[in-house]
């Protein structure tokens, strides 16, 4: 009996693949690049400019910026936590945004207009190929390739319709 238990114990030890240890190889997410030009008009007062970020959402309409980002359904440029904000009071800005490959139904400039990082956000401009701003144009980001021409017009006096329900 002891021999059988010892044999089973040895087989169990040999069959163990690390249990709950983290995997030794990270899953590689295919990345692509989005480039374009953001053009700004009618800058608001400085007290309503806490932050500006380029955000690419997988689905439209998004629930809200924070939830979509935290759940991986949106990519942000510059990344959250990065101190390099989109500059204020410029006429235009060229961008290079490296993000996971895939289709993004809604690409927008998000403006944090108040002190709350969790609630004080609105769309200030969006990528759109036509004048129907209620349905934004999508962008396909190809793995290991660059999708150019993602140009966004931001008019702080005439922002696009709010995307959030």
What pLDDT, in 10s, does the model give residues 79-104?
877 777 788 999 999 999 999 999 99
pLDDT at position 97 is: 97
List CB contacts of 78: < 8 A, sequence separation 6 or more: 53, 84, 85, 86
Which residue numbers in the chain have pLDDT < 50? 1-16
pLDDT of res. 40: 97
Residue 29: both structure tokens together: 């997410």
State the residue for tokens 């990270």.
Answer: 26
pLDDT at residue number 23: 56
- Give the C-alpha separation, 37 to 135, whole Å: 20
Predicted pLDDT of residue 82: 79
CATH topology of domain 29-155: Immunoglobulin-like (2.60.40)
How high is the pLDDT of residue 139? 98
Please state, in angstroms and rounded to a whole number, the distance separating the CA atoms of residues 38 and 116: 25
List Cα–Cα distances, 125 to 52, 142, 161, in angstroms.
11, 23, 9
pLDDT of residue 70: 83
The model scores a pTM over 0.85: no
Domain-wise residue ranges, the chain: 29-155
Contact yes or no for 57/119 (Cβ under 8 A): no
């Amino acid at each position: 009996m002891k021999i059988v238990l010892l044999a089973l114990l040895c087989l169990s030890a040999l069959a163990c693949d690390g249990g709950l240890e983290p995997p030794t190889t990270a899953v590689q997410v295919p990345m692509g690049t989005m480039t374009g030009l953001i053009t700004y008009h009618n800058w608001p007062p400085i007290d309503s400019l806490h932050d500006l970020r380029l955000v690419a959402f997988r689905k439209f309409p998004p629930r809200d910026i924070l939830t979509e980002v935290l759940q991986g359904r949106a990519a942000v440029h510059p990344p959250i936590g990065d101190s390099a904000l989109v500059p204020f009071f410029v006429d235009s800005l060229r961008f290079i945004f490296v993000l996971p490959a895939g289709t993004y139904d809604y690409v927008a400039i998000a403006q944090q207009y108040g002190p709350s990082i969790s609630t004080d956000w609105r769309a200030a401009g969006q990528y759109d190929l036509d004048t129907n701003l209620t349905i934004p144009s999508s962008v396909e980001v190809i793995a290991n390739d660059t999708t150019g021409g993602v140009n966004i017009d931001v008019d702080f006096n005439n922002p696009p319709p709010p995307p959030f329900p």
